[in-house]
Amino acid sequence: MRQPPRPETKSERRDPLELLTRLGFGPDTVLMNDPKLFMDGRFLASLLVELHDELGTRDSALALFQIGLLHGFRDAARMCRTHEGDPLSPFSEGPETTPLLMHWTSGAIVGPTGEFSLEGHWPERHEAVARCSRLGASSVPHCWMSAGYTTGWLCGTLDRALLARETECAATGADACRFEVREIEQWQGSEDGEIHWLLSQVPFDDFRRVAAIAPIERTPLPPVASRDLDGRFDRSQAVVHIWGPVMVLPFTTLDEALGTVEMLGRDPGISEIRAVVIDLREQPLDEGFGAAALEQVLETIESWSAQGLITGVSPHAEAAIAGLEASHLILRKDLPEAIATAFQIADVQRHRL
């Protein structure tokens, strides 16, 4: 008579990253701490062939998603980490921007209950090109590593339970590799069997733990404007936040804002900043001195060769904003959307250098 399986003891429980470890992509291996897979197309193509031959189509897709996920989480952790005791330092550990170029083709959308979604594409089509070079065209979207990376990076930087899914792929003959991002809770309510399979196979909280990012509490989402972005970001505190090439500058009082940018301009590291989000914090702004001061701040940011973005515009400040003469002014309704756009601008500028 067949005996029922006995419960696993703590020491017998399987490593949630066992698949990656078996393939030589454990958390401490060189390839999981180096962006080579995202930079070297020939190397990635060879890996795709090996995974396809050893694991088959579905398991190789799972492995690639997990490889990308861990890289994305780790880069997000590095991006959000600031030096202890020095919150104004523009330097962070590890790469300053993402090795995978991501473009948002539509601005981030926040629903009435706080759910987050966006659409974008990977303009370099890195993974699709690598696949076609060795395995030929595909009948279904194939950029699993890119989807995993995008998932991990957005989850880590925005502190949300998100999942990216490729919707169109250059490997199938499409003109671009496009993706959509939704809250995991939204995906769970969909009828997409591929997504449900992925959610059942990937231990997201374990990957966050390995990447040193705190797990997300499974509670209803509060309004985005009051939500912490990385576990340390407190919008109620008027503190400058810097993550690699992106700065968030709270616009509290006019004198304080002008003094802050003047002080930051004397820091030799300011040349590392590529985008600055000016958070007006829903405060009123008059069309006279207030608008002139904000324009001066934007001009100073432009002198750093950085792009200025404005968010948190109150109804009482709309007239003053409309009267600004600053060139290439970018407005974003919500702070998370502004920060996501700022990182994208930083990535684009890096690839132009």
**What's the pLDDT tens digit per position in 10-33?**
333 345 677 788 888 888 887 787
Residue from 66, 32, 301 nearest 206 by CA: 66
CB 242 within 8 A of CB 81: no
- Whether 1 has a pLDDT exceeding 70, the answer reads no
CATH superfamily of 234-352: STAS domain (3.30.750.24)
Residue with the larger pLDDT of the pair 93 and 183: 183
According to the model, what pLDDT value does residue 236 have? Answer: 55
Share of the chain residues as helix, strand and coil, in percent rounded to the nearest 5: 45, 15, 40
Q: What is the pLDDT of residue 103?
A: 84
Mean pLDDT across the chain:
77
If pLDDT is split at 50, 70 and 90, which confidence band does 173 have?
very high
- Nearest alpha-carbon partner for 145 in 61, 206, 68, 241: 68
If one compares 97 and 85, the residue with the highest pLDDT of the two is 97
User: What are the residue boundaries of the structural domains of the chain, listed by start?
Assistant: 15-210, 234-352
What's 15-210's CATH class?
A: alpha beta
Which pLDDT score is estimated for 336? Answer: 79
Instruction: Kindly list the distances between the CA atom of residue 59 and the CA atoms of 16, 154, 200, in Å, as whole numbers in the listed order.
Output: 15, 24, 13
Distance, CA of 195 to CA of 184 (rounded, Å): 9
- Confidence at residue 16, expressed as pLDDT on a 0 to 100 scale: 60
Question: Is the Cβ–Cβ distance between 49 and 132 less than 8 Å?
Answer: no
Phi-psi region of 220 (alpha: psi -120 to 50; beta: other; left: phi over 0): beta
Q: What is the DSSP string of 77-108?
A: HHHH---TT-TT----SS-SS-SS--EEEEEE
Phi-psi region of 173 (alpha: psi -120 to 50; beta: other; left: phi over 0): left
Span 174-187, average pLDDT = 94
Q: What are 279-332's pLDDT values in tens digits?
A: 887 777 766 667 788 888 888 888 888 888 888 888 888 877 877 755 567 888
User: Are the C-beta atoms of residues 151 and 163 closer than 8 Å to each other?
Assistant: yes
CA distances from 15 to 7, 20, 203 (A): 16, 10, 10
Side-chain-facing half-sphere of 316: CA atoms under 13 Å: 8
Residue 171 token pair:
């490997």
The predicted structure's pLDDT at residue 15: 59
**What is the model's pLDDT at position 350?**
57
Please tell me the predicted confidence (pLDDT) of residue 197.
93
Residue 51 scores a pLDDT above 80: yes
pLDDT, tens digit (0-9, with 9 covering 90-100), for 219-270: 333 333 333 344 344 555 556 777 768 888 887 776 777 777 778 777 777 8
CA angle 339, 346, 45 (to 5 degrees): 110
Whether pLDDT at 155 is above 70 = yes
- Other C-beta atoms closer than 10 Å to the C-beta of 304 total 18
Residues β-bridged to residue 279: 250, 311
Distance CA 301, CA 310 (A): 12
Q: Which pLDDT belongs to residue 4?
A: 39
287 touches 319 (CB < 8 A) = yes
Predicted TM-score of the model (pTM) = 0.59
The predicted structure's pLDDT at residue 232: 42
- With a pLDDT cut of 90, the percent of the chain lying above it is 28
Amino acid identity for residue 315 in this structure = P
Q: What is the C-alpha separation between 31 and 24, in angstroms, rounded?
A: 8
**pLDDT of 218 above 70:** no
**Does residue 84 carry a pLDDT above 60?**
no
Look up tokens 């699993």; give the residue: 144
| Residue 72 contacts residue 148 (beta carbons within 8 Å) | yes
